[in-house]
Amino acid sequence: MKKLLTVLLVLLISFCVFAGGKKEAKSDVDLSSLKIAAPSGAPAIGLAVAAAENPELYTFIAAETVTAEFANGTSDFIVAPINAGAKLYKMGKSTYKLAAVISWGNLFFASQKENFTLSDIDGADITMFGENTINSSIALYALKKNGITPASVSYLASAANTQQLLLSDPSAIVLTAEPALTAASVKNSNVTGYSVNEAMESTGFTQAGLFVKASLAENSPETVDAYLEVAKASCDKCTTDLETVANAAVELEILPSLKVALSAIPNCSINYVAALQAKDSLESTANIDLKQFGGSVPADDFYYGTK
């Protein structure tokens, strides 16, 4: 019996040493040669802390260059709208797989109207941004779900443009997004917003994701998994350590000021969810407007972690 207990103890110690060594090896994976690209602004907030710690790994790009970033294949990881990544993958114009959903909707209807609520949109003229995009489709879906029909819908080029209208016209009702909404409310305290997520009666839609180059995933999965741990820890700080994230976002010029950052970040719905765990939510989002995803929900091989 004593001999058996000794053997079991040796095996237990060996297992602990092996497990501990394995964990240490994973944390020691060299990430210094990685290249990560993200559009500056709300999509990059989740990675702000990680980028502030290793700025040489990160490039912040204009939103309109995301398609080119997928095509040229120089980045190991790309933060991008999920529907854009899915559509390009389906068309054979991208080899990047979705590793995680990191943001779940930062859209808001907004106005200077006193006691503005969603019902004020019914029968009113509204101005939105993102014509023929998933953002527009989501916003209109949210209104329809609440039985609200605007008298008319017109479009401007961007959330920055609808923010300008919001500030210049006290009677305007617009679709905008964080951090533009917070920046507007800082300039004019009459500005209030109503969350599209709240109108959908959900925790959000799959908006922006972290994509990984397929060749890196195939040839160096330990590198991918090690970086995904870094990315998740960075995203998690948006809810556990807001001040650190806000300071990092301002330092990197992702957001314009600490005041805006502290108010806007909680409204950007940053939450890291691994791609396979988010699959059902992604398909629900896609089914709101399939043409934004290339005509169908993404195939299983679009998700990192599938065989």
DSSP labels, the chain: -HHHHHHHHHHHHHHHHHHHHHHHHHHT---TT--EEEESSGGGGGGHHHHHHSGGGEEEE-GGGHHHHHHH---SEEEEEHHHHHHHHHTTS--EEEEEEEE---EEEEESSTT--GGGGTTSEEEEE-TTSHHHHHHHHHHHHTT---SEEEEESSHHHHHHHHHH-TT-EEEEETTHHHHHHHH-TT-EEEEHHHHTTSS----EEEEEEHHHHHH-HHHHHHHHHHHHHHHHHHHH-HHHHHHHHHHTTSSS-HHHHHHHGGGG-EEEEEGGGGHHHHHHHHTT-GGGGTSSPPPGGGBTT--
* Arithmetic mean of pLDDT, 230-242: 98
Q: Which residue has the tokens 């917003």?
A: 193
pLDDT digits (tens, 9 = 90+) for 47-88: 999 999 999 999 999 989 999 999 999 999 999 999 999 999
- The answer on pLDDT for 287 being more than 80 is yes
- The answer on pLDDT for 100 being more than 70 is yes
b/e code 228-266 from CB counts within 10 Å (16+ = b): bebbbebbbbbeeeeeebbbbbbebebbebeebbbbbbe
CA separation for the pair 291, 133 (Å, rounded): 9
Residue 99, pLDDT score: 98
- The answer on pLDDT for 239 being more than 60 is yes
- The answer on pLDDT for 3 being more than 70 is no
Tokens found for residue 253 = 């010029």
Residue 307, pLDDT score: 62
Q: Which residue has the tokens 């006193």?
A: 114
Residue 189, pLDDT score: 96
Name the pLDDT band for 203 (thresholds 50, 70, 90): confident
Name the pLDDT band for 41 (thresholds 50, 70, 90): confident
* Arithmetic mean of pLDDT, 44-49: 97
CATH topology of domain 107-199: D-Maltodextrin-Binding Protein; domain 2 (3.40.190)
Residue 16, pLDDT score: 42
**Which residue has better confidence, 11 or 296?**
296
Name the pLDDT band for 27 (thresholds 50, 70, 90): low
Residue 201, pLDDT score: 87
Cβ–Cβ < 8 Å for 159, 109: no
**CB count in 10 Å sphere of residue 2:** 6
**Which residue has better confidence, 143 or 307?**
143
* Arithmetic mean of pLDDT, 286-298: 97
- The answer on pLDDT for 175 being more than 50 is yes
Residues carrying CATH 3.40.190.10, the chain: 36-105+205-302, 107-199
Under CATH, which architecture does the 36-105+205-302 domain have? Answer: 3-Layer(aba) Sandwich (3.40)
Residue 219, pLDDT score: 96
CA angle 202, 135, 62 (to 5 degrees): 125
Tokens found for residue 174 = 């617009």
Round the average pLDDT of the chain to a whole number and report it: 91
- The answer on pLDDT for 4 being more than 70 is no
